[in-house]
Amino acid sequence: MLPLIATRPAVTPQTLRTAERGLEILCAAGFPVGHALSALNALTLFVIAHATAEVYISPLNAAEAPGSVDYVAELDPAEFPLLVQAAGTSEGTDDSARFDFAIEALITGYAATL
């Protein structure tokens, strides 16, 4: 279902109401409408992309396939010291924490433009 959602425009009365509500919130916080629309679009695209990646990454990690955390942890540390370190300590590999970090960074960045 997610690939269908991620590749089709979602213009329905409900999605338009949701977009309108998001724009109301951002405009009330001081965003000009154009910046509010850009921020809302960027957040929406990030959420869809992150959810889509999760669908495809979870089986990869479960199978310890190339690109998985376990695979990266076994790379040559002389060539990839930071990737191996991150994979070995799980720093930056928690998908939920990474999502929260990115959303907070996006919102903080948007707020800094006001």
Among the listed ranges 3-7, 11-15, 88-92, 99-103, which one has the minimum average pLDDT value? 3-7
Please name the residue that has the structure tokens 């921020």: 39
In this predicted structure, the answer to whether residue 11 has a pLDDT above a threshold of 60 is yes
Contact call for residues 9 and 44 (beta carbons, < 8 A): no
Q: How many CB atoms lie within 10 A of CB 11?
A: 8
Section 73-97 average pLDDT: 89
Q: What pLDDT score does 111 carry?
A: 86
Q: What pLDDT score does 76 carry?
A: 96
Residue 85 backbone dihedrals phi, psi, to 5 degrees: -60, -50
In this predicted structure, the answer to whether residue 6 has a pLDDT above a threshold of 80 is no
- Rounded to two decimals, what is the model's pTM? 0.71
**Predicted confidence (pLDDT) per residue in 25-81, tens digit:** 999 999 999 999 999 999 988 998 888 888 777 776 666 777 778 888 899 999 999
CA distances from 64 to 72, 85, 91 (A): 9, 17, 18
Helix, strand, coil percent content, the chain, rounded in steps of 5: 75, 0, 25
Section 80-94 average pLDDT: 87
Q: What pLDDT score does 36 carry?
A: 95
